[in-house]
């Protein structure tokens, strides 16, 4: 394990052989580049996620405040409630987008991005998706660039301005929902007695955490289904497994490849002593392919029992929006399979991926034969 490997083109192109070596080695590694310890094995990463006393999150999101904010949101995202509140609208949205596709299309630009953005608009109970997109896009550009080490002041200022615009918009939406409640997330949080400022925070986090990740997850789902022999036919025969296939795709190629924590106290992992006050990075993408947890881990298997993968995190910060992402994935995969009797990936041998923090194909061109 070395910082050189982490920055190498070979790692960006295909991190999995590196992950395998790092898992087999099992030692915790100190990265100067990341200024953090790095861990790769499933049990170690899961332990990091489920021991918040030792591996803390940002102070703002620690218990008890974390639970107070998370509880009402998690209540809205309960799978049954979500399905009955939004399932029909999201499925209709999927059908509409898929019906307008040409025979050849790019999965992220033509399907994932418009579909997930419109699903967010449905979640917030708003009709003007363009407005939401205008608020979201500069913000996400800033967030990604600010994570790059060379982010300059102008990037940060543009990001702060984008954040302010989003908060103003959410404040207006909050006032509107106070007067005219609906079936949406904001109305639900207000009805549960959440303060307006907290509602705005939850909605901003939802938007920041729930769009890019899901768009990538959908591309990875189609990649798994269409490039693994037999899986498309299997899912056509068993379409009710679409949501499970999505979880498996997230295990197989995790959209978020790593997650960080701060050490609240010194501890030992894999025989290495880790010092309090330092950062730790858990490689979700490596842990999810650990053969000690999932047999034949490099293979995408739509019906794999995959409930404890780490792509949505684990423990108290487990992704609150996971049920929504699953509803979206089920709706879009079924809509695509209905519209096209067969789907194929174009230029499969030339696929390039974004990495190392996020992972999904930079471009996934699909061809469909109409049913």
Q: Rule CB under 6 A: which residues touch ligand HEM?
A: 49, 57, 61, 70, 205-206, 209-210, 213-214, 217, 250, 255-256, 259, 311-313, 317, 319-321, 324-325
Closest separation in Å from C-beta 369 to ligand HEM? 28
CB of 269 to ligand HEM, least distance (A): 17
Buried b (16+ CB within 10 A) or exposed e, 56-82: ebeeebbeeebeebbebbeebbeeeeb
Residues contacting 76, CB < 8 A, separation 6+: 82, 85, 185, 188, 189
Q: Which is nearer to ligand HEM, 114 or 217 (CB)?
A: 217
Closest to ligand HEM by CB, 162 or 249: 249
- DSSP letter, residue 68: H
Q: Which residues pair with 365 in a beta bridge?
A: 106
Residues 6+ apart with CB under 8 A from 299: 228, 252
C-beta of 67 vs 100, nearer to ligand HEM: 67
Nearer to ligand HEM, 129 or 367 (CB): 129
Query: What's the min distance (Å) between Cβ of 371 and ligand HEM?
Result: 27
Task: Give all strands (DSSP E) within 98-183, no chain letters.
Answer: 104-106
Token pair listed for 77? 């995202």
Counting Cβ atoms within 10 Å, is residue 271 exposed (0-12), middle (13-18) or buried (19+)?
exposed
**In the bound complex, what is the minimum distance in angstroms from residue 325's beta carbon to ligand HEM?**
4
Q: How far is the CB of 78 from ligand HEM (least distance, A)?
A: 13
d(CA 123, CA 177): 13
In angstroms, give the least distance from the CB of 256 to ligand HEM: 5
CB of 152 to ligand HEM, least distance (A): 27
Helix (H, G, I), strand (E, B) or coil at 341: strand
Q: What minimum distance in Å lies between the beta carbon of 104 and ligand HEM?
A: 25
> 296 CB contacts (<8 Å, ≥6 apart)?
none
Measured from the CB atom, the residue of 24 and 63 that comes closer to ligand HEM is 63
- Which residue is associated with the tokens 């858990």? 282
Residue with smaller CB distance to ligand HEM, 67 or 369: 67
3-state secondary structure of 228: coil
Nearer residue to ligand HEM within complex by CB, 3 or 62 = 62
- Our measurement of the distance from residue 252's CA atom to the centroid of its chain's CA atoms, rounded to an integer in Å, reads 13
E-strand ranges in the chain read 29-31, 36-39, 55-56, 104-106, 258-263, 267-269, 272-274, 279-283, 340-345, 353-354, 360-361, 365-370
Residue closer to ligand HEM (CB basis): 263 or 324: 324
- Cβ 39 to ligand HEM shortest distance, Å: 14
Compare residues 123 and 345 and give the one whose CB is closer to ligand HEM: 123
């Amino acid at each position: 394990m070395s910082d050189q490997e982490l920055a190498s083109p070979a790692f960006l192109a295909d991190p999995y052989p590196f992950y395998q070596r790092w898992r087999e080695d099992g030692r915790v590694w100190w990265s100067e580049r990341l200024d953090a310890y790095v861990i790769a094995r499933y049990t170690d990463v899961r332990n990091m996620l489920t021991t918040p006393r030792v591996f803390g999150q940002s102070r703002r999101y620690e218990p008890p405040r974390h639970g107070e904010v998370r509880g009402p949101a998690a209540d809205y995202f309960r799978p049954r409630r979500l399905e009955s509140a939004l399932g029909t609208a999201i499925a209709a949205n999927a059908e509409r987008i898929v019906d307008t596709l040409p025979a050849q299309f790019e999965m992220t630009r033509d399907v994932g991005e418009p579909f997930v953005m419109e699903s967010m608009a449905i979640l917030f109970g708003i009709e003007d998706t363009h407005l939401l997109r205008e608020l979201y896009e500069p913000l996400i550009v800033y967030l990604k660039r600010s994570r790059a080490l060379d982010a300059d002041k102008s990037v940060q200022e543009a990001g702060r301005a984008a954040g302010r615009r989003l908060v103003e918009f959410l404040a207006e939406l909050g006032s509107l929902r106070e007067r005219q409640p609906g079936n949406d997330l904001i109305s639900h949080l207000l009805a549960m007695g959440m303060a307006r400022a907290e509602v705005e925070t939850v909605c901003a986090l939802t938007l920041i955490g729930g769009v890019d990740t899901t768009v990538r997850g959908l591309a990875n789902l189609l990649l798994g289904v269409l490039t693994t022999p037999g899986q498309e036919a299997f899912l056509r025969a068993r379409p009710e497994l679409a949501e499970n296939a999505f979880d498996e795709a997230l295990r197989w190629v995790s959209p978020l490849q790593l997650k960080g924590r701060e050490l609240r106290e010194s501890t030992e992992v894999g025989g290495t002593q880790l010092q309090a006050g330092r950062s730790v990075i858990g490689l979700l993408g490596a842990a999810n392919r650990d053969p000690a947890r999932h047999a034949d881990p490099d293979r995408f298997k739509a019906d794999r029992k995959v409930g404890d993968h780490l792509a949505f995190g684990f423990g108290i910060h487990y992704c609150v929006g996971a049920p929504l992402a699953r509803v979206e994935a089920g709706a879009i995969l079924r809509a695509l399979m209905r519209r096209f009797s067969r789907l194929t990936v174009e230029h499969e041998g030339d696929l390039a991926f974004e990495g190392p923090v996020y992972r999904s194909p930079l471009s996934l061109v699909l061809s469909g034969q109409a049913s």
